[in-house]
């Protein structure tokens, strides 16, 4: 059931189009992330849902009601900001209860809800503290509780973890996801951090230059990127040009080496140039039995990344990364050594 | 090397203390010499017993207070709106707020008299013209103090957070913005108070029985009382600073310590 619908949304500032042709339907209880680099229009789109920006064209529908032209304080939408935005003059409890006070709820109801929210964010003892007495992570949890206390129809989160350190980011994103699931609230999450988006979202909207590049589950986005932008932005990817040799048999040629793809050549003709992509973890050193998709290469560099070891090789004129899991007994090739690498035909993705 | 620097710091501090406090000490000692041959508070007694002192001081306190209230009501929404919605106008607004430094008070008061002494705006005798004029005079201090206070908080995000929680503009202004620039407003208020309480030219030319003209008359006719008045005036200023400090340290969690000068 569609809960939030964005139809033909565009936003133009002084002749510059920052969002265009944005269409999205979000189901109730769904967690959708807008992922993209700075300036891709993700925050502007979020702000149009919040009412801080009015779309140049298009409509924003929430539970079948058109809220496009409604003021932010007339929409029942909760928002969590990157900069926490807690009111410094109010205690944690007053911050959480602020929205309910505005809606003239009874003191008893506010007190009860504030206690519920404090329990939800595990800050039961901090009700009387001021924001300045809390850590960044605690402040952001309070900001989340404040946004949720009003029982909003949609929760909007604008890069809420960007100002926090790495460990807190990981634990807090899990907490956000578990609270969202527990309350069954629809959430839109803006981030430029692909790992964050992949780990907590039901669906991801990858954006670039104000346009939607791809919408899909984290699994789809990572494993089956549809465009070169998505492929390059989400995860590490080897992208190279290749020539179609036989579209029916899905055969390609790259630097004189024949390659086989599993799909993605529909509509392509012999001799067409395509961009293909292979994830580093899908490339392995070739074993004796392997016959297809094998390249000769030279080891150029080896980088230790903790749980993963990334090896850079030169195959013909193309550079490839391949990832292998680290273990203490791993035998790594020497730099400059001649090796053979291979990948399955399913690992060869043809980009649009 | 470090020790030498330390000594120089104390020397400069001592010179500063002497420079600022010696004239004050001299004035204070002079003010105690109203009785021949003995040190006494006779001059202070004379000043405080003078009904004209109480009258003129109360008059100025009242109009200074009204000026502060009017200034807050005018400048807080203006500075807030400029910062939030029209940041490109900040330079122009800052220039306007500095005009009282550029236009001499005597030119300003003649302008007021000329403009408001004949119909349709015959309000030259109204004390409210004095409040309006004082508001303009204190504008550089009040506006800049408020603006500095606003700079210290994230006005846009706090406003948007409050809006997303359902708050309207008056609620945002009075419950979110004002409490968070309280100390900045106090800074501006006490500076305005200090300006208005001793202001002479506007009060004199608009013929108002204010404290400034009273002090001028005392200075012309008496010897020790003006010195006593100067010390009283210093005392009031220090008391104002003390109040600012007390407010700043007091309910301090939300306070924004912002210097407006």
Name, in order, each residue with C-beta under 8 angstroms of A31's C-beta and a sequence gap of 6 or more.
A177, A180, A181, A186, A187, A189, A200, A201, A202, A203
Q: How far is CA B64 from CA B104, B113, B130, B153, B210, in A?
A: 20, 20, 10, 28, 10
Chain A contact set for B157 (CB, 8 A): 81, 83, 85
Q: Measuring CA to CA, which residue among A189, A122, A182 is closest to residue A154?
A: A189
Q: How many CA atoms lie within 13 A of B149 on its CB side?
A: 32
Residue A331: φ, ψ to 5°: -100, 110
Q: Measuring CA to CA, which residue among A223, A256, A251 is closest to residue A237?
A: A223
The reply to whether residue A50 touches residue B167, judged by beta carbons under 8 angstroms, is no
Which tokens sit at A249? 């048999």
Fold exhibited by the domain A236-351: OB fold (Dihydrolipoamide Acetyltransferase, E2P) (2.40.50)
Burial class (CB in 10 A: 0-12, 13-18, 19+), B170: exposed
Average pLDDT for chain A: 92
CB-based contact, A134 to chain B, within 8 Å = no
Check pLDDT > 90 for residue B122.
Answer: no
The reply to whether residue B253 touches residue A50, judged by beta carbons under 8 angstroms, is no
Chain B contact set for A90 (CB, 8 A): 254
Residue A47's pLDDT is 96
Would residue A256 be called left, alpha or beta, if left means φ above 0 and alpha means ψ between -120 and 50 degrees? Answer: left
The reply to whether residue B165 touches residue A99, judged by beta carbons under 8 angstroms, is yes
Region B163-186: mean pLDDT is 93
The reply to whether residue B163 touches residue A99, judged by beta carbons under 8 angstroms, is no
The reply to whether residue A73 touches residue B163, judged by beta carbons under 8 angstroms, is yes
CB-based contact, A73 to chain B, within 8 Å = yes
Q: How far is CA B45 from CA B23, B31, B35, B42, in A?
A: 22, 11, 12, 5
Task: For residue B253, give the nearest of A81, A99, A130 by CB distance.
Answer: A130
Q: Do you know the residue count of chain B?
A: 261
pLDDT band for position B256 (cuts 50, 70, 90): very low
pLDDT tens digit string along A263-315? 878 888 888 999 888 999 999 888 767 677 888 899 999 999 888 999 999 98
Pick A52 or B237 by higher pLDDT: A52
Chain A contact set for B248 (CB, 8 A): none
Q: Is residue B90 part of a domain?
A: yes
pLDDT band for position B253 (cuts 50, 70, 90): very low
Residue B258's pLDDT is 35
Residue A292's pLDDT is 76
- Would you list the domain boundaries of chain A? 2-232, 236-351
Nearest residue on chain A to B154, alpha-carbon basis: A85
Integer distance in angstroms from the first to the last C-alpha of chain B?
35
Q: How far apart are CA A206 and CA A191, in angstroms?
A: 10
Q: Is residue B124 part of a domain?
A: yes
User: Could you say which residues from 156 to 195 on chain A have a Cβ atom under 8 Å away from some Cβ of chain B?
Assistant: 156
Strands A31-35, A186-191: pairing is: parallel
Burial class (CB in 10 A: 0-12, 13-18, 19+), A267: exposed
Q: Residues A316, A321, A323, A324: is their CA dihedral positive or negative? A: positive
Q: How far apart are CA A24 and CA A19, in angstroms?
A: 13
Q: Residues A182, A188, A193, A194: is their CA dihedral positive or negative? A: positive
Q: How far apart are CA B175 and CA B218, in angstroms?
A: 46
CB-based contact, A90 to chain B, within 8 Å = yes
Q: In A71-135, where does DSSP find H-type helix? A: 92-102, 107-120
pLDDT band for position A152 (cuts 50, 70, 90): very high
The secondary structure element, H or E, covering residue B248 is helix B224-249
Task: Note whether A228 and A219 are within 8 A (CB).
Answer: no
The reply to whether residue B165 touches residue A150, judged by beta carbons under 8 angstroms, is yes
CATH number of A2-232: 3.40.50.300
pLDDT band for position B252 (cuts 50, 70, 90): very low
Check pLDDT > 50 for residue B261.
Answer: no
The reply to whether residue B166 touches residue A103, judged by beta carbons under 8 angstroms, is yes
The whole model's pTM is what?
A: 0.81
pLDDT above 90 coverage of chain B, percent: 41
Q: Is residue B21 part of a domain?
A: no
Q: How far apart are CA B159 and CA A231, in angstroms?
A: 38
Check pLDDT > 70 for residue B216.
Answer: yes
Q: How far apart are CA A216 and CA A206, in angstroms?
A: 9
Q: State the smallest CA–CA distance between residue A43 and chain B in angstroms.
A: 14
Residue B198: φ, ψ to 5°: -110, 10
Which tokens sit at B166? 């359902």
Q: Is residue B22 part of a domain?
A: no
Q: How far apart are CA A273 and CA A350, in angstroms?
A: 11
Strands A294-304, A349-351: pairing is: unpaired
The reply to whether residue A89 touches residue B253, judged by beta carbons under 8 angstroms, is yes
Nearest residue on chain B to A129, alpha-carbon basis: B253
| A318-325, strands of its sheet edge to edge | A284-285, A338-342, A294-304, A308-315, A318-325
The reply to whether residue A52 touches residue B162, judged by beta carbons under 8 angstroms, is no
**What would you report as the CA-atom Rg of chain B, rounded to the nearest whole angstrom?**
22
Q: State the smallest CA–CA distance between residue B193 and chain A in angstroms.
A: 26
Angle of the B224-249 helix axis to the B211-221 helix axis, nearest 10: 150
pLDDT above 70 coverage of chain B, percent: 91
The reply to whether residue A87 touches residue B157, judged by beta carbons under 8 angstroms, is no
User: B200: domain CATH number?
Assistant: 1.10.3720.10
pLDDT tens digit string along A9-57? 999 998 899 999 999 999 999 999 999 999 999 999 999 999 999 999 9
The reply to whether residue B165 touches residue A98, judged by beta carbons under 8 angstroms, is yes
Q: Is residue B6 part of a domain?
A: no
Residue B3's pLDDT is 67
The reply to whether residue B163 touches residue A71, judged by beta carbons under 8 angstroms, is yes
Task: For residue B254, give the nearest of A71, A83, A130 by CB distance.
Answer: A130
pLDDT tens digit string along B45-83? 988 888 988 898 888 888 888 999 999 999 999 999 999
Angle of the B139-151 helix axis to the B182-197 helix axis, nearest 10: 170
Which tokens sit at B132? 């309006």
pLDDT band for position B247 (cuts 50, 70, 90): low
Query: How many beta carbons lie within 10 A of that of residue B158, not counting itself?
Result: 21
The four Cα atoms A16, A22, A28, A32 give a dihedral, to 10 degrees, of -70
Residue A200's pLDDT is 94
Which tokens sit at A348? 């060869």
pLDDT tens digit string along B96-111? 999 998 888 899 889 8
pLDDT tens digit string along B8-43? 999 999 999 999 889 999 999 999 988 888 888 999
Note down the domain range covering B241: 45-254
Chain A contact set for B164 (CB, 8 A): 50, 72-73, 77-79, 147, 156
Chain A contact set for B253 (CB, 8 A): 88-89, 130-133
pLDDT tens digit string along A178-204? 999 999 999 999 999 999 999 999 999
Pick A149 or B222 by higher pLDDT: A149
Residue B212's pLDDT is 87
A29: preceding bond cis by omega (within 30 degrees):
no
Would you list which residues of chain B are within 8 Å, Cβ to Cβ, of chain A?
Answer: 153-154, 157-158, 160-168, 171, 176, 179-180, 182, 253-254, 256
pLDDT tens digit string along A54-81? 999 999 999 999 999 999 999 999 999 9
pLDDT band for position B248 (cuts 50, 70, 90): low
Q: Is residue B143 part of a domain?
A: yes
Q: Is residue B249 part of a domain?
A: yes
CB-based contact, A219 to chain B, within 8 Å = no
The reply to whether residue A98 touches residue B162, judged by beta carbons under 8 angstroms, is yes
Q: How far apart are CA B215 and CA B59, in angstroms?
A: 13
The reply to whether residue A85 touches residue B160, judged by beta carbons under 8 angstroms, is yes
Check pLDDT > 90 for residue B170.
Answer: yes
- Hunting for tokens 């080897």 — which residue is that? A238
What is the tally of structural domains in chain B? 1
Residue A113's pLDDT is 95
User: Could you say which residues from 315 to 344 on chain A have a Cβ atom under 8 Å away from some Cβ of chain B?
Assistant: none
Determine the 3-state secondary structure of A314 from DSSP: strand
Query: How many beta carbons lie within 10 A of that of residue A183, not counting itself?
Result: 14
Determine the 3-state secondary structure of A203 from DSSP: strand
Task: For residue A89, give the nearest of B157, B161, B254 by CB distance.
Answer: B254
Task: For residue B253, give the nearest of A132, A143, A150 by CB distance.
Answer: A132
Chain A contact set for B171 (CB, 8 A): 102
CB-based contact, A103 to chain B, within 8 Å = yes
Question: Hey, of B161, B168, B250, which one would you mutate to test binding to chain A, going by the most A CBs within 10 A of its CB?
Answer: B161
Chain B contact set for A133 (CB, 8 A): 253
């Amino acid at each position: 059931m569609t809960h939030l619908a964005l139809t033909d949304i565009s936003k133009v500032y002084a002749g510059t189009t920052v969002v265009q042709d944005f269409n999205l339907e979000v189901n109730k209880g769904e967690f959708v992330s807008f992922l993209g680099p700075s300036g891709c229009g993700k925050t502007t789109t979020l702000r149009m849902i919040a009412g801080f920006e009015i779309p140049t064209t298009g409509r924003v529908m929430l539970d079948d009601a058109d809220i496009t032209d409604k003021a932010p304080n007339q929409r029942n939408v909760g928002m969590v900001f990157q900069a926490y935005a807690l009111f410094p003059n109010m205690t944690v409890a007053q911050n959480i209860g602020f929205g309910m006070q505005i809606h003239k709820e009874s003191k008893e109801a506010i007190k009860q809800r504030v206690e519920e929210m404090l329990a939800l964010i595990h800050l039961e003892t901090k009700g009387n503290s001021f924001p300045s007495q809390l850590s960044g992570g605690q402040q952001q949890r309070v900001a989340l509780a404040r946004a949720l206390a009003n029982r909003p129809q949609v929760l909007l989160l604008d890069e809420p973890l960007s100002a926090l350190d790495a460990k807190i980011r990981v634990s807090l994103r899990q907490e956000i996801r578990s609270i969202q699931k527990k309350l069954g609230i629809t959430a839109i999450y803006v981030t430029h951090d692909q790992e964050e988006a992949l780990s907590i979202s039901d669906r991801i909207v990858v954006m670039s230059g104000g346009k939607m590049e791809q919408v899909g589950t984290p699994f789809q986005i990572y494993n089956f990127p549809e465009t070169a932008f998505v492929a390059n932005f989400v995860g590490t990817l080897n992208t190279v040009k290749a020539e179609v040799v036989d579209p029916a048999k899905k055969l390609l040629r790259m630097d004189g080496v024949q390659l086989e793809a599993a799909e993605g050549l529909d509509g392509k003709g012999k001799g067409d140039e395509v961009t293909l992509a292979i994830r580093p973890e899908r490339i392995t050193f070739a074993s004796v039995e392997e016959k297809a998709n094998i390249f000769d290469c030279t080891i150029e560099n080896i980088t230790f990344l903790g749980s993963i070891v990334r090896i850079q090789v030169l195959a013909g004129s193309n550079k490839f990364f391949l990832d292998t899991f680290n273990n203490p007994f791993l035998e790594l090739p020497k730099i400059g050594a001649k090796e053979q690498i291979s990948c399955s035909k399913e690992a060869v993705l043809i980009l649009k | 090397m470090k020790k030498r620097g330390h000594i120089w710091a104390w020397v400069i501090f001592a010179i500063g203390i002497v420079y600022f406090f010696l004239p004050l000490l001299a004035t204070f000692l002079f003010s105690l010499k109203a009785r021949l041959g003995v040190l006494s508070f006779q001059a202070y007694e004379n000043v405080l017993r003078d009904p004209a002192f109480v009258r003129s001081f109360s008059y100025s306190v009242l109009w200074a207070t009204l000026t502060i209230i009017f200034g807050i009501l005018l400048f807080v929404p203006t500075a807030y709106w400029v910062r939030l919605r029209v940041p490109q106008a900040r330079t122009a607004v800052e220039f306007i707020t500095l005009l009282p430094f550029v236009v001499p008070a005597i030119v300003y008061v003649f302008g007021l008299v000329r403009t408001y002494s004949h119909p349709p705006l015959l309000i030259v005798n109204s004390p409210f013209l004095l409040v309006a004029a004082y508001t303009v005079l204190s504008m550089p201090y009040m506006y800049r103090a408020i603006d500095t206070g606003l700079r210290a908080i994230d006005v846009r995000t706090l406003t948007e957070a409050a809006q997303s929680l359902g708050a309207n503009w008056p609620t945002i202004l009075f419950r979110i913005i004002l409490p968070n620039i309280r100390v900045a407003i106090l800074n501006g208020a006490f500076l305005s108070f200090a300006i208005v309480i001793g202001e002479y030219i506007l009060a004199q030319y608009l013929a108002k029985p204010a404290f400034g003209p009273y002090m001028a008359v005392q200075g012309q006719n008496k010897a020790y009382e003006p010195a006593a008045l100067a010390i009283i005036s210093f005392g009031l200023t220090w008391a104002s600073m003390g109040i600012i400090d007390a407010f700043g340290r007091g309910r301090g969690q939300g306070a924004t310590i912002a210097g407006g000068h």
